[in-house]
Copies of this chain bind each other. A is one copy, B any other.
Amino acid sequence: MNKNSSNIMALAPNTSNKRETVCIFGTGDFGRALGHKMIQSGYPVVYGSRSTQISNLIPKDAEVLSHAEAAQKAAIIIIAIQRQHYNFLTPLAEILHGKVLVDISNNLKLNQYPESNAEYLAQLLPGSKVVKAFNTVSAWALQSGTLDASRQVFVCGDDVEAKQMVMNIVRALGLTPVDKGSLLAAQEIENYPLQLFPMWKFPMFLSLGLTAFFFFYCLALDVIYTYIYENNNFSFFIAFTIPNRVCPVMALILLALVYLPGIFAAIIQLYRGTKYRRFPNWLDKWMLCRKQLGLIGLAFASLHAVFTLASPLRAFVSWRTGKGIIAQALNNKTEPLNTTTAWISDSYLALGILGFFLFVLLGITSLPSVSNNVNWREFRFVQSKLGYLALILCTAHTLVYGGKWFLSPSAYKWYLPNIYMLSLVVPCAVLVVKFVLIFPCVDKPLTRIRQGWERNPKYSE
């Protein structure tokens, strides 16, 4: 410690408020932006460059020297050059020995090279302490100060002291360092900025496909059928009525798809009599994107809620209401209140509102800051108990809404069921199987299996 400690003290800002010199190899865009920012934050910056001719692009207060000279002036060297030029550093190995090298590079494709750039650098210069950092920050954002996203800087490296030194610089620039452990994490850190919602891809494509299918299904039944057989032009249904039919169907199906893999998992475990075999790959993947499925379902549910609440504002609805009232007025009579109709209408509205309320609660609980503040037991209580309650309420909402039409032949245009009937298949199946699974005669062996018991040890890996 004595040696290292004095080392830190030499590098750390001392009471006379001087910060340690930082060397930057490479005068490209990111090198300049980072240098600029560091000078602003009080660090003396020296650039290492092939041509020591001072370019007017380089921050005014920075020195420009040859690589060797620049490296000797600082304990931390930021390698702002591309991976393919890393081998020019090997002749400098002696000068760079014991220095902290900060690898800030990014690749153009995921897993472009067998090993991460930072690990490659560490292999080239085994005497230096390589730290991966800054690759998630954009040069543009650094310079313009618009750091709305990614104030987080992932840092990893095998040398704890070196990592600490880099993390102190990160903090001094107003960013938040996140320690990701050893240099093995560099691959992950380098892949991170290349991702575009990787977990959302499958749920998004599934939703888009299903939405398109249901949209054209509705278009055929509600607009084309009506136009052909009843000669009514309801083309304007495309704008409002059909979206408001597709949205609840999608919301209900996606909510059910969140709970379906759990059902499959339970059945597989019961069948195999052990929990010590891996689930099939598709089931594992499905289980991992349940949160995304649920959130897309919530988006559809929210759209359905707003569309429904906005429907009294529609010209079509006003016209239809008016027509009904005028017909009664012209017949000189008032229809009495039908209590059954009132019960059905009030019930499905109330069920839908409560189901939506619980759905929103599930969504709020999956916000990172909220789910980090609940423990495992609480999270499972919300996502499992309240989630199933939401599914029950939403399924009941759909059943009460459309129940009376199930047996009516006029509901089957072209002998096809209405889409809310289709939407009930998956949730009802999930609820029925779940209901079976909570019977003691099924639940007990399942609980034992999940606690480690095996019916048939031959299956176990």
Contacts and interface: CB of A to CB of B under 8 A. Distances in A.
A460 B29 CA distance: 14
B160 A12 contact: yes
A170 to B, nearest CB: 9
A368 B461 CA distance: 43
A56 interface: yes
A62 interface: no
Contacts of A321: 318, 322, 325
Contact of A193 (B184, B192, B377): B377
A172 B305 CA distance: 43
A403 interface: no
B314 A325 contact: no
A12 B158 contact: yes
A281 interface: no
A323 interface: yes
Interface stretch (A70-78, A216-224, A231-239): A231-239
A63 interface: no
A376 B138 contact: yes
A84 interface: no
A165 to B, nearest CB: 10
Given A136-B376, A349-B314, A378-B197, A357 B181 contact: no
A345 B316 contact: yes
Contacts of A108: none
Interface stretch (A249-257, A283-291, A412-420, A425-433): A283-291
Interface in A112-152: 119, 122-123, 126, 136-138, 140-141, 144-146, 148-152
Contact of A8 (B56, B137, B160, B288): B160
A56 B1 contact: no
A4 B5 contact: yes
9 contacts: A29-B451, A146-B287, A240-B347, A306-B309, A308-B313, A310-B349, A312-B312, A367-B369, A369-B372
